[in-house]
Structure 1
Amino acid sequence: MSARHQEHIAQALLKVAEPTPAKVRRTLNSLGYPDERIHGLKQDGKSTRFHLDLRENGGKLCEAGLAAGETTEVYTCAALAAGPFTVKTEEQP
């Protein structure tokens, strides 16, 4: 499931010229991810970092990403299973 999210998100973000937090949010929204699932949008130079909360039914799945044109990366992370969204670990490539 995580690989499907990663590929879907990365392909869409690769097409975003000048990936500002607003453009990244709009792109994620267009993929079906509502605002309440998008966290930590932060400009980092010419790129934008973000987290997606994909927790369901006690799961811990989340995705972390860096929207940066051709060097866009999306990777799996784990969040606390309950309570407010908090990233526990990130599995960067």
Structure 2
Amino acid sequence: MNARDWCASALHEERIAQALWDLAEPTPTKVRAILNDLGYVDERIHDLKQSGAATRFFLDLRDKGGRLCLEGSAAGEQTVVDKCVAPATGPFTAGGRKQ
């Protein structure tokens, strides 16, 4: 992950987590609506699915050769959004978390 991705990840993580924090009953439909309202288009939202009380998702944020993606779990006060890496080119597939 390059320096640009690293810096951008913190801004995206905070913005999304704050928007999802107070979401009651985070269903995939509600999570998608919030992500869309934040400007993330459907083509960038992947694997949006219910997992128990949480809704999990990936966001493809690759831009200009970057590899940034985010992995999220919307679960009210237990909401977590963290950076991950994706291939620089080709179809989106999420890789592991990159610290």
Separation in structure 2 between the aligned mates of residue 46 and residue 75 of structure 1, nearest angstrom: 19
Separation in structure 2 between the aligned mates of residue 91 and residue 29 of structure 1, nearest angstrom: 25
After TM superposition, the score normalised by the length of structure 2 is 0.89
After superposition, where does 1:5-44 map in structure 2 within 5 Å? 5-44=12-51
Matched residue type, 1:45: G
Note the C-alpha offset of 1:90.
Answer: 2.1
CA deviations 1:31-81 (Å, max 9, x no partner) are: 000000000101001110000000001110000000000100000000011
Note the C-alpha offset of 1:91.
Answer: 4.5
- Structure 1 unaligned spans of 5+: none
SS of equivalent to 1:65: strand
SS of equivalent to 2:91: coil
Question: 2:4 aligns to what?
Answer: none
Percent same amino acid among aligned pairs? 62
Separation in structure 2 between the aligned mates of residue 51 and residue 88 of structure 1, nearest angstrom: 10
Question: 2:86 aligns to what?
Answer: 79
SS of equivalent to 1:87: coil
Q: Number of residue pairs matched?
A: 92
Separation in structure 2 between the aligned mates of residue 32 and residue 69 of structure 1, nearest angstrom: 21
- Structure 2 unaligned spans of 5+: 1-7
Matched residue type, 2:15: H
* Root-mean-square deviation (Å): 1.1
Shift in CA distance, 91/16, structure 1 to aligned 2, threshold 3 Å: farther
After TM superposition, the score normalised by the length of structure 1 is 0.95
